[in-house]
Amino acid sequence: MTQTVRPSSPAPGEDHIDLSWRRSASCGLTPKSARPGAPDPRASRSHRLAEAARPVMDDLDEVLKDTGAMLLLADREGRVIRSVRDNARISRMLLRRGVDDGATLTEDAVGNNGIGTALETRAGVFIHGEQHFAEVLRDFVCYGHPIIDPLTRRLVGAVDLTGMSADASRMFAPFVRKIVADIEARYVDTARADDRELWHRFVERTRTSDTATCAFGDEVVLASHSSLERLDSRDLGRLRRLVDRHELGDSVELSVGTVGVLSSRVGRRGHLLDLVFPDHQHPAVPVLGSTRPAFTAPVAASIPGTPAMPAASAPGSCGGVTGPTHAVVGPSGSGRSSTARDIAGPGALHVRLAEADSADAAWIGLVVPALRDQGDEGRPLVLDDIDLLDDADLRRLAARLRSAGAALVVVTSREDPRAAVTEALDACGTRTVLRPLHERGAESAEIVARMVEELTAGKGLAPMVPTARFTDAVCALDLPNGLISLRSILTECLSESGHTGSTTLDVDCLPARARTGRPPRAGELARGEYDAIVAALAGCDGVRSRAAKRLGISRTTLYARMREFGLS
C-alpha cells in the first residue's frame, strides 16, 4: 500500500500528534478499524536497504535480549522488512496484533505510529500509549526515525523501537538515531561506485569553495547552496538533459542568462559542473584533466608519459606563473611532482617530504632548511606532499606561504579534507588541480598511447598499437597509484605481447589483476588495505620505506593511508 504524501508542518498552536490523528481520520480510519496491513507476498523488497541494514540489525539480537523491546525496520512504503525482538510478552502481544515482518505500518493503514508518522513527517517522533490513533497500539510507547539516503536525500525507510515502559522511552531516541546513522552510512557503501565517488568529490569541492557547483550521476543530482540561490528546477533539469545527451558546451542558456560551465567527469558516468554566472565572472579553480579548459589563459603542463595537457591558470597568470606561491593538488600518480617541477622551472630545488621517516623529521630536517636556504639564495622551491606534515607544522607553513617573498614556492598535496592542509593550500596565490586518469575523457587515450610509445622505445621493442578496446579497458581501471600503476600494467602487457610477437595490444594482454570481477565494496577495500598495511609494517619492523616497497606502492601513498587509518 502506497503512502499518500500530505503537508505535515504544524500551524501555530498545533502539534504533530493532532495532525497525525487528522491525517489518520482523513483516510477513513476509525480507532477500532485501524490495524497493520497484512503481508503481501507479491510485494517487492528493498534489497539495498536490507543489505545495508543487515550487519547493524544482526548486532542487535544480543543488545535487545530480555529488554522487553522490539525493533522494526521498514522500507519507504512502510512495509516491515526486518524485526529484532526477544521472547518477552511485548513481542508476543505485537505479533498477535499484526506487527510482524511484511506488515504495512503506514498512517493510512494503522494510523499514527513510529514507522508511518516518521515516513510522513521525515522526522523523529515519540508516541506514548493513548496518543496512538489505533486502539490496538495504545498499550505501547514507541519512537520512530526516518532513514535518509545521504547521497540523494531521498527517503528510503524508517526504524521504530517499541516498548511498554514510558520511563524507558527517554532512551529510545538516542538509541534509534545511532542505529539510523549506522544504516545510512552503510547505505552509501551500497550505492554505485561512480555515485559514491561523485558524492565525495562534490563534498570536497563545496567544503573548500563557494563556487556554484552541481553534480549529476546515474541516481544522484546534487547542487551547492550557491547554485540553488541562482537556479530553479527547470535549470537543473536542462543541465541534466544536456549532460545525459553529451551536449554540454562551455556555456549554457539558463533562466539567469548565459552561464559558463566547467565540467569534470567523475567515474564513467558522473559529471561535476562548476558554474560561472553572468554577474560573477571570476575564474574557477584550474583543473588539469578536465573535459575542457576553463575560461582563463592556458598553461602547458607536461607529465612524463603523457602529452601536454591544457590547464587553466588562476587570476593574474598568462602563459606562466607570476605569483610567489602555487599549489598543485591531485590523487596519487596523477603527475603532481612533474607538474610542480614544470611550474617551478629547471633550476628549482625539489624537496620530497616522503623521504623522511616521520612528520617531525620532514619538517625539521627538510622543510625548515629548504625555506631558510631559499631566503638566502632566492631559488624556486618545490615542497612535495605537504599533506604528510603534522597540523601544527602545516599552519606554520601556511603563515610562511602568505608572507612569501619574490622567490617561487610550489607545494603539492593529495586531496585531503584536513583543515590544516586546506589552510596551507588556500595560502597559495594560484592552484592547479589534477584529475585521475579515468576522469580525463579522450585525453586518457592519448596518455595511454604516449606511454606505450615511450615504453616500447625504452625497451627496444617494435612499435605496438593499442586497440580501442584495450584503451577503453585500461582507462576504466581503478588505478590506486594513477600513472605509476598504469606504467606497471602497460609494462606487463608489452612483455606478454613481446613473447607472442604481436604488434597490437588488446584486452587479452591485460594481466589478471587488471581483469578482476566486481571491484571491492568500500568497506571491504578499506579492511583489506588496513590488514595489508599492518602486515607489511610488522614484517618490516615498522620501517615504512621497506613496507611501501613490499606493498608495491609509493611511500607517499603509504603515509597517506596510514594517516587515514590512524596508524602511527
Residue entry with cell 539480537? 61
Assess contact for 432 and 344: CB atoms under 8 A. Answer: no
pLDDT score of 5: 35
Residues pairing with 68 in the sheet:
none
Task: With CA atoms as reference, report the closest residue to 265 among 427, 440, 127.
Answer: 440
Read off the pLDDT of residues 183-192 as tens digits, 9 standing for 90 and up.
888 887 777 7
Assess contact for 374 and 344: CB atoms under 8 A. Answer: no
Distance of CA 74 to the CA centre of its chain: 26
SS3 for 417? coil
Angstrom distance (rounded) from CA 221 to CA 216: 5
The contacts of residue 556 (CB under 8 Å, 6+ apart) are 332, 354, 384, 385, 388, 414
Backbone φ, ψ for residue 354 (5° rounding)? -70, -15
pTM of the model: 0.43
Angstrom distance (rounded) from CA 250 to CA 295: 9
Angstrom distance (rounded) from CA 174 to CA 355: 46
pLDDT score of 441: 62
SS3 for 294? coil
Neighbour count for residue 83 (Cβ, 10 Å):
21
Assess contact for 289 and 324: CB atoms under 8 A. Answer: no
Angstrom distance (rounded) from CA 2 to CA 232: 29
pLDDT score of 528: 59
Residue entry with cell 539510523? 180
pLDDT score of 43: 64
pLDDT score of 338: 83
Q: Is the dihedral of CA 361, 332, 478, 419 positive or negative?
A: positive
pLDDT score of 319: 34
Residue entry with cell 551536449? 247
Hey, what amino acid is at 175?
F
Assess contact for 103 and 41: CB atoms under 8 A. Answer: no
- Cα atoms in the 13 Å half-sphere on the side-chain side of 506: 5
Residues pairing with 162 in the sheet:
70, 142
Q: How far apart are the first and last CA of the chain?
A: 53
The contacts of residue 543 (CB under 8 Å, 6+ apart) are none
pLDDT score of 566: 64
SS3 for 512? helix
Task: With CA atoms as reference, report the closest residue to 103 among 36, 54, 151, 45.
Answer: 36
pLDDT score of 294: 31
Assess contact for 464 and 497: CB atoms under 8 A. Answer: yes
pLDDT score of 315: 33
Please list the ranges in the chain whose pLDDT falls under 70: 1-15, 41-46, 87-88, 165-171, 207-210, 279-323, 333, 376, 404-406, 416-417, 437-442, 476-481, 498-500, 512-531, 564-568
Parallel, antiparallel, or unpaired: how do β-strands 221-223 and 212-216 relate?
antiparallel
